[in-house]
A = this chain, B = another copy of it.
Amino acid sequence: MSTAQVTIKDLARQLNISVSTVSRALRNAPDINPGTKNAVLKLAAELSYEPNVMAQGLVKKKTKIIGVVVPAIHSNYFSDALSGMTEVANAYDYHLMFCQSNEDAGQEIRSIKKLLACHVDGLLISVSKDTKNTAEFEKVKQLGVPVVMFDRTLPDFTCSKVIVDEYEGAFKAVEHLIRKGCKRIAHLAGPVNASVSANRMKGYIDALAKYGLPVNDKLILRCNAFEEDALPAIKKIIASRPMPDGIFFINDLSAISAIQYMQKKGINVPGDIKVAGFNDDPVSAVIQPSLTTVMQPSYEVGKLAIGILIDAILKPESPEQTISLRTKLVIRDSTK
């Protein structure tokens, strides 16, 4: 509090002009003498005047703040998306306010309320894995605050959405396994209530179907949480007879942990069993054998999502759209 913030009034007083003239000079308004405008701009720079965004927000009813809610920032996917968002936000002079739902629908609602209280101009949301109720989102919409959902969306709620085509990613991965000669392909699926699990599972099933391979329920196992405790499921898969010759994993970490386990058991990857993951974690390029996996364009997802949102903020009547980005199959040694 030592140095008080310099205001538009200070500038007006020092230049012996009115506040409205100063205000006009500061934005690029008409009805202002270029001379006085320059004088104001000069003094403003000298005193390093910064407009008070709260005062501006109060009268303009815009904060230039965008609220972001993700299930967990601790995730390559979401942190990449967030990076993309910051880039675009900087370019358009928007600010990002950030909340985390911890995969909890209640916390998610509290976060949204919190952001709404801050009068964010728009909302960027990736819903938690057991969010079902759309009531809160409808309220946001009624308030006139535009919403864009990314990655994890809510089918029952209509708004602009940016997603990645996980179905196609899974399909491509399994198709790749098939083309490499696998005939008996297992799948380690994710938590049952996450939409990602269902999408990837469907890709797995449809790929099998396309190539006339049977879908065997015994070859489909689940882990209850992401990145955790996939080992029991893996052991079960390995133990099944006849042994599978390929496995498609819900994510890279479980794939890696499986590869390590199989190597210990004397099973050769990719010789005996070929393995594909999902996510393209940094470590996947580094392990031995390097892991074939599905890369998601999460950075792009973030950029696109915030781009659409800013459009919607600037012109509220712009139509809602759903954009689906394609994954990229990264082929490495684990399917050689």
Q: Which residues of A contact B (CB under 8 A)?
A: 1-3, 5, 50-55, 57-58, 63, 65, 72-76, 79-80, 82-83, 86, 90, 95-100, 110, 113-119, 142-144, 227, 253, 256-257, 260-261, 263-264, 281-283, 286-288, 316
Q: Is the CB of A119 within 8 A of B52?
A: yes
Cα separation A114 to B53 with both chains bound (whole Å): 10
Give A83 Cβ to nearest chain B Cβ, in Å: 6
Q: Which residues of B contact A287 (CB under 8 A)?
A: 256-257, 260, 287
Cα separation A161 to B53 with both chains bound (whole Å): 29
Known: A2-B144, A144-B1, A286-B260. A98 touches B99 (CB 8 A): no
As for how many copies of this chain the complex holds, the number is: 2
Give A281 Cβ to nearest chain B Cβ, in Å: 7
Q: Which residues of B contact A283 (CB under 8 A)?
A: 253, 256, 281, 283
Residue on B nearest A255 in the bound complex, by CB: B286
Give A88 Cβ to nearest chain B Cβ, in Å: 12
Q: Is the CB of A73 within 8 A of B74?
A: no
Q: Is the CB of B95 within 8 A of A95?
A: no
Q: Which residues of B contact A76 (CB under 8 A)?
A: 74
Q: Is the CB of B86 within 8 A of A116?
A: no
20 additional contacts (CB under 8 A) given A54-B58, A256-B283 = A1-B316, A53-B117, A54-B54, A54-B119, A55-B58, A65-B97, A72-B83, A73-B79, A73-B83, A74-B76, A74-B79, A82-B98, A86-B100, A90-B110, A95-B114, A97-B97, A253-B282, A253-B283, A264-B288, A281-B283
Q: Is the CB of A3 within 8 A of B143?
A: yes
Cα separation A40 to B271 with both chains bound (whole Å): 73
Q: Which residues of B contact A97 (CB under 8 A)?
A: 65, 95-98
Cα separation A2 to B80 with both chains bound (whole Å): 34
Q: Is the CB of A118 within 8 A of B53?
A: yes
Query: Which of B2, B82, B263 sits near A142, CB closer than 8 Å?
Result: B2
Query: Which of B1, B144, B260 sits near A288, CB closer than 8 Å?
Result: B260
Q: Is the CB of B144 within 8 A of A3?
A: yes
Q: Is the CB of A116 within 8 A of B50?
A: yes
Residue on B nearest A58 in the bound complex, by CB: B54
Give A117 Cβ to nearest chain B Cβ, in Å: 5
Q: Which residues of B contact A253 (CB under 8 A)?
A: 282-283, 286
The 7 residue pairs across chains A and B that have the minimum distance between CB atoms: A260-B288, A257-B286, A1-B144, A54-B54, A54-B57, A50-B117, A283-B283
Q: Which residues of B contact A82 (CB under 8 A)?
A: 73, 98
Give A149 Cβ to nearest chain B Cβ, in Å: 20
Residue on B nearest A86 in the bound complex, by CB: B100
Cα separation A227 to B283 with both chains bound (whole Å): 9
Cα separation A115 to B90 with both chains bound (whole Å): 11
Q: Which residues of B contact A55 (CB under 8 A)?
A: 54, 58
Give A142 Cβ to nearest chain B Cβ, in Å: 5
What are 16 A-to-B residue pairs whose CB atoms are below 8 Å?
A1-B144, A1-B316, A3-B142, A3-B144, A50-B113, A51-B117, A52-B58, A52-B119, A54-B54, A54-B57, A54-B58, A54-B119, A72-B83, A96-B98, A97-B97, A260-B287
